[in-house]
Structure 1
Amino acid sequence: MSESRRAALVDRLRQLGPETFWTVMLGMVVLAIYFASIGACGPWDPWETHYGEVARNIVAREDPMDLWWRPGYGPQGKREGVFASKHALPFWCMALSFKVFGVGTGAADEMVRSPIPEIALRLPSMLAGFATLAALGWCVGRLVHWRAGVLTAAALATMPQFAILTRQAVTDMFFVGPVALAMVAWAMAWLEPERELKTVGKGWREVPMDRAWWVFFALFVVAAVVPLAVMHLHVVDADTIAKVTRWNRKKTATLADLHEVARTLWIYWGLIAVVLVRALRWRRRSQAWMGVVYIAGGLSLMGKGMIGPGIIGLLILMHMLVSGRLSLLWRGRCELAIGVVLFVVTCFPWHHAMAIFRGERWVNELIVVNNLARFASGEQDQAVGGFGFYLRTLGLAALPWSAVVPPALWAAMRAFRRRELEPGDGELAVDASGRPLDSARELHRLATLWFIVSFGLITYSVTKYYHYLVPCLPPLAALVGLWLHQLLPPPKPAKEDGQAEEAREVPAPSEGLGLPLGAVLAFALGGCAIAFMVVRECLEEPAWIAHLTTYLYTGMWRKGAAPVGRMIWCVAPFVVGLLLWIARQGRAAVAAMVLSGLLTTAWVIDDYLPATSENWSQRTAMRYVFDHAEKGDKLLSWWFYYRGETYFSKRRIWVSMEPNRKELREFVDDHRGKGSTFWVMTTVRHAERAPAHFPADLRPGIEVVYENFHYALMRVPVP
């Protein structure tokens, strides 16, 4: 770079305000950490590969409505068909990404040859995670101070469980993101002063022309109008009609069902028209943000299920009760009637269409088995636990920030104290709900309720998986970010053109530095103890980090994780930060803590995950098959069903979930005399037993050509 260009770049950096500079720097570092090793980690079994294959089938079958999964062919190759365990939004996003990147309909080996399939598969979840970071950080920065917003985003981005789930193609970010968006929109609707929307035109031609309204409208089009249009065009398409006609079904998925779906979808176009007419009459900013709340509720249901709108509704109700805003309901300020319609047009069309097309069995599996039953009764013996289950998990999921959860919660509890009026305060301004304006304190209270309610709800659920904790991380990050902000010196009022602006009030003096030395010492030493215990447990069971995003925790799934010794050096700066807090060095303490968070996340994402992925992904084994298989060879999944074999082979695989000797020998006999070689995927344990299940003349030639801690690939020549 020439001297002139370097000087110009330096000048531009100097011209940036501190909020822009630190936001850009944080964003660049986080993007570098998250993307650095995205292609080095093969898709993990069972969820990434399962969901990826469902998304690939949307592209291959050109069917965005009827989600589909089929293992392959053979004894259990047609064991499943309709995919009814999850809602559609994550798979629509993955399928769109596949389409954009040209993945899913190419050569047989395309899923193992380059990092493009991994990027296409994971990018939607990453975008949802980044959007969550941006929305939460922006909201905290607007209502409190830009510094608090940056620290909140930094804390959330560097929580290991949030980072891993953002980097993996699972459904959680499509649920957590909309929940966070709903709470951000609720805060923006009522914790700031009300104002009129900017409009253009006069009389009946007057329509909103305001940023808040355009945020609502853009989200409305993307979340409700576009999916409905795509689905409606699909069900009336001639190719779809011809395909359903060829099926010739008698009870469900018939041509009559398809025509009924097409007629039913017109109802939702009518509701969209009602929403649009009403939205054009909105004149207050709070109305636009409440519209975002209802759309976000619908998106959360489309992302993960009824837990999403359930959490949002419960959180808002609790906040109204605790903060004295319940009158917003009976005063009609919440736009409840049109809000219900917004929620319906966002999440009902696909469910309604599939209920008509696939019938009662589909409804029962999706709604009853995979939503209600999981909350009321345990799904698996390993997926249960008591109150301490998620407390223990939080230690690792939020490491290193879990070490400061006690002081952050203490500061949050202090936010519930009644504010003392100072002499000279005069008449207080009010927020949009009519209560005294105190945005920073009110946001602190809202984040506290958000964390407590979310944590209580997942703890109450009978089914307990580690990844169910992730909806608690955004509010926890907000609490941590606000606490870190209070450790720093009070911000100076902003100035523009030499004139001081009226700065938004922030808590002062610092809660963190204002504590007695004994309390600071107790919190700091307690944080050191928490960090020590979490690191010690990770050293004893390295697979614990991998378990944060899966549901298989026992047996062979406790083996094969990468060493975690380097975690000690990543967490060490955080301990230094706690000691600096004791020494009343707020800036240095915050810098050390943020550095520790970045180091920990970089190690987890770019060191631990790539090494561990070798045992949680079948990509290397499948790549070996495509490198060495010849024309006429067959790929088998024997005594094995972990989904990756289907995803990487694009369903070109013979599937036997049980060790059925008769069916295996029949398949062998069908290929004798053809010079074929069988490539058999199974577990390491089952590979040891496999020779006894093959015909005696094949046993001498059986060879294990690839093996990790979980899987084995066998080469079986068939004479």
Structure 2
Amino acid sequence: MNKSSSDKPAARTAADGDLGDAAELSEPAALTPSQPFLHSRGASWFELSLATLLAMVILLPGLWSYTLVDPWETHYAEVARHMLEGHDFVHTKWQDEGFRSKPVLTFWMIAGGLRALGLGADGGFSGEMVSSPMVMFAVRLPFALFAVLGLVMTFWMLSRLVSRRTAWLGLLVTSTTPFFLLVGRQAITDIPMVACLMGSLACFAMAVHAGDSPLRAIARIRGREINAFHLFLAVLVALIGWQLAYYAYYFAAYPKLAAGIRVPVPYLLLPGGMLLGLVGFLVWSIRISPTRYARQVYMYWFYALLAVSVLGKGLPGIGLAGLVCFFYLLLTGQWRLLAKVEIPRGILLCLLIAVPWHLAMLFKDGRPFLRDYFLIHLWRRAAFGVHGERGTFNFFLSQIGIGMWPWVALLPAAVGDILSRITGRTRAGGVRLLIAIWAVVSVGFFVAVQTKFHHYILPAVPALALLVAFWLDDVLAGRVRNVTIAALAGAAIALLLARDLMGEQKQLIELFIYRYDRPWPSGAPWFVDASDAFLGFGLAFAGSLLAFAFPRLRRVGMLALGTSALVFALWVSNVYMHHAATHWGMREAIQSYYQQRQIHGIDIRYHGARQIADEWDGHDGSFLIRSLIPDHLSVGQPMSVRVELAETGGEVQVERELHGTVERIAAAENRFWVALAPEELAKLDELVARGRGESEPEQRPQRQVNADRLIAWQLYWRGENFWSGGEIWGPFAATKTAFKDTDNKAFLQYLNTEGIPGQRYYLVTEAGRASGLRGVLPTPQAKDSFEILNTSSNKFTLLSFVL
């Protein structure tokens, strides 16, 4: 049999050049000063904008269309909601205790997303978290934008150092890889770290190959040249400046520190240290050792992004980037670069960005933060294992297979090709070497880490995806041998993975969840079946790959594979996840509670008479209550406003109950008004008069709508906290309704002491436990009135009974 011409290396064609190959294999490692690096051929601003738009089109649509997935998304969202409720953006809290397992960036992002869309003010009104799909969009949007940032920075680097075609292929492969796509749309800690890693390594690659190219003006403002260094300084000053100002205000307004922590004037010490470090960097980089080269600015971004990754997920990002850069220098022998990668100033940047919050949290939380955060969740997770699975190299193989479908079909060929031809002697070769090291180091790093979840391998996925992009670029350029064999093997791999997905349809959502033993909703009454779709995509992928076996059809095959992968990405993120997430979350169940409950009024606990005076002095008798409006709320319905005054040690000294009726309802605005007669308002006259001369207490008033209670029964999946807006952990005895213990002692004690005979109670619990509730209920009426209200999820059920 004659050897196919497709298996021979071919010369580059004009068509290939038209696609923008900026670095031939013989190209030198660095450009000369006469050809400034910042203006070397690469993606235009139009192409960068187009790449950004494409990444957003893939990642953003439908973020609002499916529920947050338990437990991580709802867990982190509830910590962020606590920040908004307590107006405390330093001390992370969960339920009624500190939260110490993750650094702060995730919670700042979620809180910022909620407020940017006008949601979550003061922690949100009653039922707000289930009132609109925009809550899911607000929670997830910052994370999807981080994913876009990682994609665009990688695209930019590849277009400058390798070719524009490689950049477009890299963007396509990485963004349509299910692992990156799905986690990039999740509000969890991993994507900020991975995006920062992508950006930092892109900057490192640019710095390595920039040589001594001088900075060039990119704009002029009032006759003054603005270059990339000025843009970096603007971002740095903004990033540090708002934190500096907030810490000064925060520790001045709330000076109490954790037990055992003694820090003089923390409102001056911490901001002062930050200001000193920032001024030191500015003087160092502008006056003492001026920043003149593009390489320096790239390295500043390298360190800054890694510091941000520390605020996102701790030390893994810095560890991975450090190892990748070390092995790159080791394998290329370019140790002279150590003198040019701005290590001293980089350390200062990392300290300036990453350390202040950790110190602030230590001041407020004390030794428990040191113990839990550093010892348990950083050290023990890595060295011994905490939660999750265990395993070795093979633990992640199946996850890479499912998580990179269909591109994983070409991964063996891509890895074999780059191992056989890799070189660091050219600019493009150096980038390929860096990406290969990134892939190997990431896999090795997380194989060594003892705690294992499926998504822990995510930092390796962009690198593996880029290896596939390199191989595809080489195929299109005619630089690859044995394409036919790779095509046939790839088609077989694509079909085998399609078969696996058809048999175990939950594998895609299991890429980023906590437990892997929970069933897919294949049975009654749900009958969710995606097997036909998996088969269809598998056949499309296999057919596209087979086209690579024929030289004249390779571009057609590339177009078909890219198109089918893009369609699959949009399907999996908007159709598959819409159906799957419903069964890995409880939003619909708790939303049903808010729609059906009966509202009786509102309870307010003030911590000083001054707060009562501020709200009730001169009140016009029309009292506003914010709440998701239940189906049967009506004008004229009786309501009560219960006022408590707890001035000393949180103990309630005074109680007043005002009675009125609903006078107006604005359902679209989630609010209604209660009419209070003058004689009812007069019950507060003494407290109002007393409060006029008092000072404002530090603690804010606490409010909770008085309604039929929601109970979380034998449940601890975190979603119950977030979707209820923390109301199951409310400030009043009657609103502490989370009972995770299975012995039912606390549950029955609550019903006996706080329960109101004749009132309806709602319970959310795991679906498998629902039928056992009737036998536990303490009264005949409760047993007789027991009913199942919502089974939209195969894992969580809403029940009710009348006590």
Indicate the structure (1 or 2) with the bigger Cα radius of gyration.
2
Q: 1:413 to 1:192 in 2, by over 3 A?
A: farther
Superposition pairs of residues 125-524 of structure 1, within 5 angstroms: 125-198=143-216, 209=225, 211-236=227-252, 238=253, 240-241=254-255, 244=256, 251=259, 259-260=265-266, 262-280=268-286, 281-329=290-338, 332-380=339-387, 383-417=389-423, 438-489=426-477, 510-512=478-480, 515=481, 519-524=482-487
Which of the numbers 24, 38, 48 marks the counterpart of 2:63? 38
Question: Structure 2 regions of 5+ residues with no counterpart?
Answer: 1-41, 600-706, 729-736
Q: 1:364 to 1:208 in 2, by over 3 A?
A: farther
The answer on whether the counterparts of 2:391 and 2:452 sit within 8 Å (CA) in structure 1 is yes
Superposition pairs of residues 5-84 of structure 1, within 5 angstroms: 28=53, 30-70=55-95, 78=96, 81-84=97-100
Q: Secondary structure of the equivalent of 1:616? A: coil
> Aligned residue for 1:108?
126
Q: 1:295 to 1:439 in 2, by over 3 A?
A: same
Q: Secondary structure of the equivalent of 1:443? A: helix
- What whole-Å deviation, never above 9, does each CA across 1:27-55 have from its counterpart, x for those lacking one? 55553443332222011110111111111
> Aligned residue for 2:696?
none
Offset at residue 214 of structure 1 (A): 3.3
The 1-side partners of 2:303 and 2:115 are apart by 29
The answer on whether the counterparts of 2:43 and 2:156 sit within 8 Å (CA) in structure 1 is no
The 2-side partners of 1:663 and 1:179 are apart by 46
> Aligned residue for 1:633?
708
Q: Are 1:589 and 2:557 an aligned pair?
A: yes
- What whole-Å deviation, never above 9, does each CA across 1:571-611 have from its counterpart, x for those lacking one? 33322222121101331121112112102211110110000
Which has the larger displacement, 528-537 or 29-38? 29-38
Offset at residue 361 of structure 1 (A): 1.5
Q: Determine what percentage of the aligned residue pairs are the same residue.
A: 26
What residue identity is the alignment partner of 1:466?
H
Offset at residue 258 of structure 1 (A): 8.3
> Aligned residue for 2:491?
528
What residue identity is the alignment partner of 1:701?
S
> Aligned residue for 1:615?
583
Q: 1:191 to 1:222 in 2, by over 3 A?
A: same
Which of the numbers 722, 741, 753 marks the counterpart of 1:670? 753
Q: 1:301 to 1:215 in 2, by over 3 A?
A: same
Offset at residue 378 of structure 1 (A): 2.2
Q: Are 1:694 and 2:701 an aligned pair?
A: no
- What whole-Å deviation, never above 9, does each CA across 1:161-212 have from its counterpart, x for those lacking one? 1111111111111100111111011011112342122489xxxxxx995543
Q: 1:418 to 1:373 in 2, by over 3 A?
A: closer
Q: 1:460 to 1:153 in 2, by over 3 A?
A: same
The 2-side partners of 1:258 and 1:67 are apart by 22
Which of the numbers 81, 92, 95 marks the counterpart of 2:111? 95
What residue identity is the alignment partner of 2:570?
A
The answer on whether the counterparts of 1:411 and 1:483 sit within 8 Å (CA) in structure 2 is yes
- What whole-Å deviation, never above 9, does each CA across 1:32-81 have from its counterpart, x for those lacking one? 443332222011110111111111111121111111111xxxxxxx4xx1
Structure with greater proportional helix content: 1
> Aligned residue for 2:733?
none
> Aligned residue for 1:73?
none
> Aligned residue for 1:704?
788
Superposition pairs of residues 112-123 of structure 1, within 5 angstroms: 112-123=130-141
Q: 1:323 to 1:689 in 2, by over 3 A?
A: same
Offset at residue 670 of structure 1 (A): 3.3
The 2-side partners of 1:101 and 1:553 are apart by 34
What residue identity is the alignment partner of 1:394?
I
The answer on whether the counterparts of 1:355 and 1:362 sit within 8 Å (CA) in structure 2 is yes
> Aligned residue for 2:566?
598
Superposition pairs of residues 548-567 of structure 1, within 5 angstroms: 548-556=511-519, 563-567=530-534
Q: Which has the higher contact order (CA 8 A, sep 6+)?
A: 1
The answer on whether the counterparts of 1:487 and 1:587 sit within 8 Å (CA) in structure 2 is no
What residue identity is the alignment partner of 2:495?
F
The 2-side partners of 1:250 and 1:293 are apart by 35
The 1-side partners of 2:51 and 2:539 are apart by 21
The answer on whether the counterparts of 1:212 and 1:289 sit within 8 Å (CA) in structure 2 is no
The 2-side partners of 1:647 and 1:341 are apart by 38
Aligned residue pairs, count:
631
The answer on whether the counterparts of 1:22 and 1:150 sit within 8 Å (CA) in structure 2 is no
The answer on whether the counterparts of 1:156 and 1:477 sit within 8 Å (CA) in structure 2 is yes
- What whole-Å deviation, never above 9, does each CA across 1:219-239 have from its counterpart, x for those lacking one? 423443433333333222x3x
Q: 1:261 to 1:356 in 2, by over 3 A?
A: farther
Q: 1:557 to 1:310 in 2, by over 3 A?
A: farther
The answer on whether the counterparts of 2:70 and 2:585 sit within 8 Å (CA) in structure 1 is yes
Provide the alpha-carbon RMSD of the alignment. Answer: 2.4
Q: 1:407 to 1:377 in 2, by over 3 A?
A: same
The answer on whether the counterparts of 1:41 and 1:610 sit within 8 Å (CA) in structure 2 is yes
The answer on whether the counterparts of 1:396 and 1:545 sit within 8 Å (CA) in structure 2 is yes
The 2-side partners of 1:461 and 1:558 are apart by 33
Q: Secondary structure of the equivalent of 2:548? A: helix
Structure with greater proportional strand content: 2
Which has the larger displacement, 599-608 or 257-266? 257-266
Offset at residue 682 of structure 1 (A): 0.6
- What whole-Å deviation, never above 9, does each CA across 1:266-305 have from its counterpart, x for those lacking one? 1222111111112221112111111111111211111111
The 1-side partners of 2:750 and 2:494 are apart by 55
The 2-side partners of 1:392 and 1:456 are apart by 16
The 1-side partners of 2:199 and 2:585 are apart by 32
The 1-side partners of 2:493 and 2:284 are apart by 52
- What whole-Å deviation, never above 9, does each CA across 1:249-277 have from its counterpart, x for those lacking one? 87257xx6584364233122211111111
Q: Secondary structure of the equivalent of 2:768? A: helix
What residue identity is the alignment partner of 1:370?
H
- What whole-Å deviation, never above 9, does each CA across 1:418-446 have from its counterpart, x for those lacking one? 76xxxxxxxxxxxxxxxxxx321111111
Offset at residue 536 of structure 1 (A): 1.6
The 2-side partners of 1:359 and 1:19 are apart by 50
Q: Secondary structure of the equivalent of 2:710? A: strand
Q: Secondary structure of the equivalent of 1:551? A: coil
Question: Structure 1 regions of 5+ residues with no counterpart?
Answer: 1-16, 71-77, 201-206, 420-437, 490-509
The answer on whether the counterparts of 1:618 and 1:711 sit within 8 Å (CA) in structure 2 is yes
Offset at residue 18 of structure 1 (A): 9.8
Q: 1:533 to 1:22 in 2, by over 3 A?
A: farther
